[in-house]
Amino acid sequence: MGEWKEYKLGDLIDVKHGYAFKGAFFSDEPTPDIVLTPGNFKIGGGFKADKFKYYNGEYPPEYLLSEGDVIVTMTDLSQKGDTLGYSAKIPKAIGVRFLHNQRLGLVRLKSEQADLDFIYWLMRTSDYQDSVVNSATGSTVKHTSPTTIKEYDFRFPPLTQQRAIASMLSSLDDKIDLLHRQNKTLERLADTLWRQWFVVQVDGWHEITLREIAEHVKESVSPSKQPTLVFSHYSVPAYDEGRQPKKEFGKNILSNKFRVISDSILISKLNPKFPRVWPVFGQVDETSSICSTEFQVVKPKHKNYFGFIYCFLKSRSVTQELESAVGGTSGSHQRVDPEVIFDLSFPKPPGERIEEFGKLTNDHWIKIDDNFGQIRTLTQMRDTLLPKLMSGEVRVEM
């Protein structure tokens, strides 16, 4: 460790604030220009490709981002600093341009002693993130500043070691990303087949409701009554962070939840404008699997109905219908009555066609479930290695 040298981040990088884009030019319709915000960061760090803000106005060209650029959050609206100071790397983009607003900073190297990818991973360590959050200003909206970020000090390994560490962590991240992309492809294929079979070809079919082919499971669970039991908690944040249930002790879960059962589908009643439909395919430990009461547990009455119901619940027509049925005045806390979900109607296809669709897509759900298992393993490996590599406890063979 003798060759590791201590620097403040400000010795190695600059952080440039983004641009205040004019609200009048934001668009609900997709445009080539996408303004990135703290909402495009995952908890812990990393890029999240959803909830894009489209822009159709002019802007200074220096706020146009390039593939591989590292950006960092300067503002967090959660009041908890959930993503404050976190880093993300700009992905390859085809047909769109990414821009950064005033709530983000652009990280630029100013020293040959540092590797930008290594800085990106350093900004994903808990020690760095805790340092930024603990020095945040603001009571309602949390802020940090380039000065605060650049004050963080750290013992840096030599440049070759920095690159080796970043390469190892990025390799794990690339494998995780590949599995996520495989899952999206499999889901798109199933969605396309569903539309062909059940939207285009509906002549002579009569309308039925979801409750005629699925049950509404509402079994309440009080995790705090089993304080030492480790629960698999299907929460809204867990869905948003990659659709992986969090492991939590019952003593840390203070409110009641719903029991999650095998071969069910969870659909959120919260903010249907941003649909959250979570398939729980296959067997789960029903004694320790729970979900937020923001989710409703949908149990197909026949196992071969799983694929049909899942694709139906995440279809655009369902999203639009639920959007029109929300209650509540707050844009961030609008909810739909659970009964509305089970009253959703559709033209009923022949039962054998639903079952045939279920059989054809069954392998899709098995593969997706297996991929999520690999994602959990790789994510745990990456998150375990990160602090050990950064501290020198684990060394990369050169």
Residue 329 is predicted with a pLDDT of: 57
| DSSP labels, 280-318 | E-S---TTTEEE-TTEEEEEESSGGGHHHHHHHHTSHHH
In a domain? residue 300? yes
Please indicate, yes or no, if residue 197 is contained in any of the structural domains: no
Give the Cα separation of 252 and 301 in Å (integer): 34
Among residues 310, 328, 348, the one where a domain terminates is 348
* Stretch (H or E) spanning 290: strand 289-291
Are 88 and 175 found together in one domain? no
Do both 335 and 387 map to the same domain?
A: no
Domains in the chain, number: 3
DSSP string of 210-267, one letter each residue? GGGTEEEE--EE-GGGSTTPEEEEE-HHHHHTTS-PEEEEGGG--S-EEEP-TTEEEE
- What SS3 class is residue 111? coil
Q: Does residue 148 share a domain with residue 267?
A: no
Q: Which two tokens stand for residue 150?
A: 């650049």
List, in order, residues 6 or more apart from 137 with CB less than 8 Å away: 143, 144, 145
Write the CA distances from 359 to 185, 281, 300, 370, 384, integer angstroms. 18, 14, 14, 18, 39
Residues 6+ apart with CB under 8 A from 357: 193, 194, 197, 198, 307, 308
Q: Which residues of the chain have pLDDT under 50?
A: none
Co-location of 279 and 377 in the same domain = no
Are 234 and 331 in a shared domain? Answer: yes
Other Cβ atoms closer than 10 A to 91:
11
337 and 285 in a common domain: yes
Q: Quick one: angle between helices 351-391 and 159-195, nearest 10?
A: 170
Instruction: Please tell me whether residues 139 and 100 are part of one structural domain.
Output: yes
25 and 54 co-located in one domain: yes
Closest CA to 168 of 133, 134, 219, 117: 117
Q: What is the pLDDT of residue 199?
A: 87
Domain presence at residue 196: no
In a 13 Å sphere around the CA of 54, the CA atoms on its Cβ side amount to: 8
Q: Which of 138, 156, 174 is the last residue of a domain?
A: 156
Residues 78 and 43 in one domain: yes
Q: Select from 348, 363, 388 the last residue of a domain.
A: 348
39-68 pLDDT, tens digit each: 888 888 889 887 899 999 999 999 999 999
Residue 194 placed within a domain: no
The pTM for the full model equals 0.84
Distance CA 221, CA 297 (A): 13
Instruction: Give the domain extent around 373.
Output: 159-189+350-398
Of 127, 52, 39, nearest to 83 by C-alpha is 39
Neighbours of 76 (CB within 10 A): 24
- CATH of residue 86's domain is 3.90.220.20
Domain match, 290 and 229 both: yes
Asked if 317 and 358 sit in the same domain, the reply is no
Are 48 and 150 in a shared domain? yes
Of 197, 198, 258, 271, the C-alpha closest to 222 is 258
